[in-house]
Amino acid sequence: MKRVYATAIALAAALAPLSVAAPAGADPQSQSGQSQLIDRVVQRALSQRGVPFVYGGGDVSGPTNGARAAAHTTGGVRGIAGLPGGPAAGIPGSPVAIPGSPAVIPGSPTTGIPGGPLVAGSATPGLPGATIPPTPALPDLTTVGFDASGLIQYAYAGAGIKMPRTSGEQCSVGHKVAPAQARPGDLLCYGPGGSQSVAMYLGNNQMIEGTSPVVAVSPARTSNMVPYLTRVIG
């Protein structure tokens, strides 16, 4: 089945090369106007190649840190059980307590400052030289970059299109098209309903995706892909 999808996308790429920008002022509803919008979206995504991956990073204005993701965790970055200001360990719904002393505030030589945020990438008290890897529960607040859906939101903002922020929401807009009808700008969605990740199809069996370690162009991936692409323009 995966081979069928890959073949279909490759065929679509041969039949649908990257669009050429239409003259300024073209009607957005016309074919040339749609081509212009698609080209803006694709070029805006491509302009971010090499930008670091950050869980929760990116919005309509460009790359950001993981503060957006942190705001959606229980209690924010301070809401870690066992830390000053955090929820009590053992209470249902509370994060798992992190062993050790209070957090290190990046750039500060002092540990154990009450209320200090625990930041991914900072030193772990009691473990010399160790760092805490970013996770959905503990986003990276030091690196600026994109995650998969952040890149898509940024790219479509270049065409004046306001996209939702999560991959699942983005994959529910527009309309569904078969892999054999893939065109540049279409979204490739992964996991149930696109809930795990999203990438942008570029044509010629290539896609661009905000994934670890950096935003990159790669062959269109069909593993775990839903059996359709999402078309936002056209």
Q: What is the pLDDT of residue 138?
A: 66
With respect to residue 138, please indicate whether it lies within any of the assigned structural domains. no
Residues 16 and 46 in one domain: yes
What stretch of H or E contains 215?
strand 215-219
With respect to residue 162, please indicate whether it lies within any of the assigned structural domains. yes
With respect to residue 200, please indicate whether it lies within any of the assigned structural domains. yes
Give the residue from 176, 183, 151 showing the smallest Cα distance to 166: 151
CATH number, domain of 205, equals 3.90.1720.10
Model confidence pLDDT, tens digit, residues 178-222: 999 999 999 999 999 999 999 999 999 999 999 999 999 999 999
Model confidence pLDDT, tens digit, residues 20-43: 333 344 455 688 999 999 999 999
With respect to residue 220, please indicate whether it lies within any of the assigned structural domains. yes
With respect to residue 39, please indicate whether it lies within any of the assigned structural domains. yes
With respect to residue 70, please indicate whether it lies within any of the assigned structural domains. no
Residues 169 and 123 in one domain: no
Model confidence pLDDT, tens digit, residues 57-81: 999 999 999 987 777 654 444 333 3
Domain tally, the chain: 2
Model confidence pLDDT, tens digit, residues 93-129: 444 434 444 443 344 443 343 444 444 554 444 444 4
Residues 204 and 151 in one domain: yes
With respect to residue 137, please indicate whether it lies within any of the assigned structural domains. no
| The last residue of a domain, from among 108, 132, 156 | 132
Range of the domain at 126: 77-132
What stretch of H or E contains 216?
strand 215-219
Q: What is the pLDDT of residue 135?
A: 63
Alpha-helical regions (H) of the chain = 2-15, 31-46, 67-71, 148-157, 167-170
